[in-house]
Amino acid sequence: MTDPIDKAFEWSAAGQKIALATVISTWGSSPRPVGSILAVNENQEFEGSVSGGCVEGAVITEALDVIAGGEPKSLTFSVDNKTAWQAGLTCGGALSVLVTRGDDPTLLKHIVEARTMRQPVILATDTGTGAQQLLHASGKEPATDIAAELTALAYSAVTSGQSRLVEAAGRQYFLRIFLPQPRLHIIGATHITQTLAPVAHMAGYDVAIVDPRAAFAAPERFPGCEPLVEWPDEYFNRAEVELDRMTAIVSLTHDEKIDDPTLAAALRSQCFYIGALGSRKTHAKRVDRLLKLGFDETDIARIHAPVGLNLGGRTPAEIAIAIMAEMTAARYQPAVQT
């Protein structure tokens, strides 16, 4: 799937008029979370989703009106709302959607560039006027014409990783947080990796596969994600391989020559998830080796081993699904976002 902001930037660069519809609040079993975006252009093309298909038709119609008139619109859909029933929102929840013009090429370019540089960025939108400003989590580029109170709220939102509605200087703003794309480094081009890599990619991860064994890392085994034939210690020493809080590392070889340097690099980083394949007996030996390398029990407790949720599956594909499930749970735990 193409990211709606990337698509909006592409459209704006081509001179098209655009509206951005953003979920700003939800209640009950709303199908899409706060911060979900639907980008619509003047040619009625769209990218993204605000409801998984329930109310998209109605939102697109309103978005075209915003493109024509320029004034923002606040829309609410719920099960007791006639429009919502007509649109198909019968899941029992409710959502509010803010529709604004979104064709400022400079603003969109800054969002895309910040994410490319793996820097969090905040889009602050005045829900009454639709006026938008960009805030950078580093604080190096302070906001223009925006209260210090809002700036502090924005940085707090980045810390939590949650987009939200806030009140500041007598105005209501929606703070849309854009975090770096999550990354997954899979060490070991195994049968499990053949499922894990494409599933992680579909879930929005930038995926890298590394294996020093050329026979395992044959490109034809991994269409669309060619493995790197490298030892993990060489790979993790690359300047461009940044192991930040949006990074997961999974080692799938249970070979200590490959496992140990991988886990050592992961434990020295801020990765939100570290997984290692192997039985409890294998992991016990691994723990002994890591202790000798200077890591303590608190460090080693960060490793998920045996890797993956215990779903009962045994095939490589089932194990990959269990890993993806455990990784997803770890990513969204509150502790991970602090």
Which residues are CB-neighbours of 279 under 8 A, at least 6 positions away?
Answer: 306
Give pTM, 2 decimals: 0.77
Instruction: Tell me the C-alpha distance between 76 and 112, whole Å.
Output: 29
pLDDT tens-digit profile of 89-141? 555 578 899 999 988 889 999 999 988 888 888 899 999 999 888 887 554 44
Query: What's the rounded mean pLDDT across residues 258-263?
Result: 96
Is it the case that residue 261 has pLDDT exceeding 50?
Answer: yes
Both tokens of residue 91? Answer: 């899941």
The domains of the chain, with CATH numbers, are 4-101 (no CATH), 105-178 (no CATH), 183-337 (3.40.50.720)
Instruction: Tell me the C-alpha distance between 128 and 288, whole Å.
Output: 59
Q: What is the pLDDT of residue 338?
A: 31
Instruction: Tell me the C-alpha distance between 243 and 266, whole Å.
Output: 8
Q: What is the pLDDT of residue 146?
A: 58
Q: What is the DSSP string of 70-87?
A: ---EEEEEETT-HHHHHH
- Residue 284, classed as helix, strand or coil, is helix
Q: What is the DSSP string of 105-119?
A: HHHHHHHHHHHHTT-
Q: What is the pLDDT of residue 29?
A: 66
Both tokens of residue 139? Answer: 């604080």
Is it the case that residue 48 has pLDDT exceeding 70?
Answer: yes
